[in-house]
Structure 1
Amino acid sequence: MAAVGSEHKEVSVRGMQAYRAPSLLQPHRARQALRDAYEGKIGPLLGFYLAFPTVPTARVAAQLGADFVWVDWEHSSCGVETMTSVVHAIQNVSEGRSMAFVRVPGHDHANIGFALDAGASVVVPQVDTVEQAEHVVSATKFGAVRKGSRSAPPARWLAGSSVTIDSSRSIWENVNNQAALIIQIESEIGIKNLDAILTLLGDQIDAVWIGTLDLRVSMGLDGLWGEEPEFQSAIRLYEETLRKHDKPNSGGCFTGNWSLGSNKSFVVVAGDWLGLLGQRDNIQTARENLPASDKRSKNTFAKGNENGTNL
């Protein structure tokens, strides 16, 4: 395990294993990884988006070499047990090379706790106000010093027996320092309130994600991006606020237009649903190249077997 503060020196060889905890059931030192990426000590954290979270797909995603796997619990039908098993699969099958980040469904205190208890970091969607951000931080952190009211899981990590990174601190304070919190700003209201949110809670929020799809929906605009003056004005205010508070930006870059990922410390660049969509071209190519059956050709099957194509 890398020494605290020197993790970035081992990333070129070990990847995110440099930031792993003593146990893969604990969250990685994701807060430090985000800060190191933001400060340019390592490259941006590159992620795989798991839109269809199941244990089998998680096992595959864990072997793709991503720095993190984004588990979309918000827009999937998996329950708490499946989400927990998915997180464990990501971090154990990857042997710590990939961190699990769970986008939770809403701001529910219990759901945020379930994801953190599983050993993941969390992404919380649609944070619009200071009050909502306070609730999210409260659900994320242990102890009033961190503005938290998270309940300690008595059978998850055992105080006094769980191995910790910093032996001078409790397991709860260690986990506070490990698991990252990313909030998603997805409306004009959220952008306008972001300055106040980061002024009050910036020490507990590790990065911000601009959700351009929901932002544009809230503005009555189509698509993920556009050049409309009102949209570009909102983006400029968002970026100016992050610079003011020295806070990492995060987002998606799926199209190969790398400019969308520039100056971001946490970038989702691939996903399972994109892989499925890519098969559309294969199906169309098959339609164009496989003719209708010709009953007069009696040797087709035999020829196929000779070529090893009929299994």
Structure 2
Amino acid sequence: MAATATSTTSSQGMQAYAAPSLFQPHRARDAIRDAHQKKIRPLLCYYAGLSSLPITRFLAPMNYDAVWIDWEHSSCNVETMTSMVHEAIFMSQGATIPFVRVPGHDHAAIGYALDAGASIVVPQVDTVEQAKHVVSAAKFGSKQRGTRSAPPFRLIPGITDQAFDATRDIHQNLNDQAAIMIQIESLEGINNLDAILTEVPDIDIVWLGALDARVSMNLSGNMAGQEKEWLEAKEKFFSIIDKHDKPYGGFAFVEPPFGGPGAIKEAAKRMSFITCSADVLHLAAVAGDLQKAKEAIGQV
């Protein structure tokens, strides 16, 4: 059930896509679909590269549309990940949708993130078989080819298990709430993307992992480049995305040296989900403060 894009929706932001209980995932699938159809602006996300509850709590009231919790590349256990998800949802009063990048394709890890109330980002999806496994692990019920285990105590009967669509049960609703983002991070994944999106339509949004893709192609380790094989790979990726009319997400930072307002404006033409800021980048800038202080003091 897609949300109607009205001025009320725009003013409420992602609170317009909140579930009946904040213990449930947002209706992130609807939000991404509406952004893709230009009913609302792209979701603006900050990247949480550090497993820090205080930082998550501090940023939550800023009301980013989404937070990317990087469980793949951080020292983070299940309890910390779950607490970060809850901090993002509750301290933003439902204004921020948590997306957890899970550490691989593990069935249990996907379930932990979804049980916490997040949508998921799944890295390094290279084949149709992997994509089918991911969606199966994320869905309830055989009609969805789902193998996700129904958690008996995550939601309290009559209190936090209200269904957004009262004509269907809670598990059918949850299937349509949390979003699945896959990351294509290799030339193999790009070459298989057409088949993946054809055979696994429940994927909601695709992210091109440029750094990993370039490394897998034995190119220099950065997120850009003008090599012929890289330009051809990107062109193929975007032609497939357009063919399937599939939402696309990526980085577009607001400040130099990684971006600027022009980059955001250009990204919004294509992207439905834009990661525009990152905790690690802002903390890294502290090194510049130290250098400026030393220069101001001068030699002793």
Fold match (TM-score > 0.5): yes
2:232 equivalent to 1:233: yes
In the TM superposition, residue 201 of structure 1 has moved relative to its aligned partner by 0.8
Paired residue for 1:135?
133
Paired residues for 1:44-193 under 5 Å: 44-158=42-156, 162-193=161-192
User: Structure 1: which 5+ runs fail to align?
Assistant: 294-311
User: Structure 2: which 5+ runs fail to align?
Assistant: 254-258
Q: Per-residue CA shift, 1:60-106, capped at 9, x if unaligned?
A: 22122310000000000110000000000000000011110000000
In the TM superposition, residue 260 of structure 1 has moved relative to its aligned partner by 4.9
Alpha-carbon separation, structure 2, partners of 1:96 and 1:47: 14
Paired residue for 2:293?
286
- For 1:189, give the aligned amino acid: E
Alpha-carbon separation, structure 1, partners of 2:187 and 2:157: 43
Secondary structure of 1:74's counterpart equals coil
In the TM superposition, residue 109 of structure 1 has moved relative to its aligned partner by 0.2
Paired residues for 1:200-211 under 5 Å: 200-202=199-201, 204-211=202-209
Alpha-carbon separation, structure 2, partners of 1:14 and 1:185: 32
Alpha-carbon separation, structure 2, partners of 1:8 and 1:206: 22
Q: Which moved more, 1:20-29 or 1:114-123?
A: 20-29
Q: Per-residue CA shift, 1:237-296, capped at 9, x if unaligned?
A: 111111111100111112223345541101100010011111122111100112466xxx
Task: Please identify the structure whose Cα radius of gyration is greater.
Answer: 1
TM-score using structure 2 length: 0.93
Paired residue for 1:268?
275
In the TM superposition, residue 211 of structure 1 has moved relative to its aligned partner by 0.2
Secondary structure of 1:178's counterpart equals coil
- For 1:113, give the aligned amino acid: G
Root mean square deviation of aligned Cα: 1.5
The answer as to whether partners of 1:8 and 1:36 remain within 8 angstroms in 2 is no
Secondary structure of 1:276's counterpart equals helix
Paired residue for 1:31?
29
Pairs aligned (count) = 290
In the TM superposition, residue 118 of structure 1 has moved relative to its aligned partner by 0.2
Paired residue for 2:256?
none
- For 2:167, give the aligned amino acid: S
In the TM superposition, residue 56 of structure 1 has moved relative to its aligned partner by 0.7
The answer as to whether partners of 1:29 and 1:179 remain within 8 angstroms in 2 is yes
- For 1:60, give the aligned amino acid: F
In the TM superposition, residue 51 of structure 1 has moved relative to its aligned partner by 0.2
Alpha-carbon separation, structure 2, partners of 1:287 and 1:153: 55
The answer as to whether partners of 1:37 and 1:45 remain within 8 angstroms in 2 is yes
Q: Per-residue CA shift, 1:137-166, capped at 9, x if unaligned?
A: 111111111121100000012566611111
In the TM superposition, residue 21 of structure 1 has moved relative to its aligned partner by 0.6
Alpha-carbon separation, structure 2, partners of 1:155 and 1:32: 26
- C-alpha distance 4-236 of structure 1, shift in aligned 2 (>3 A): closer
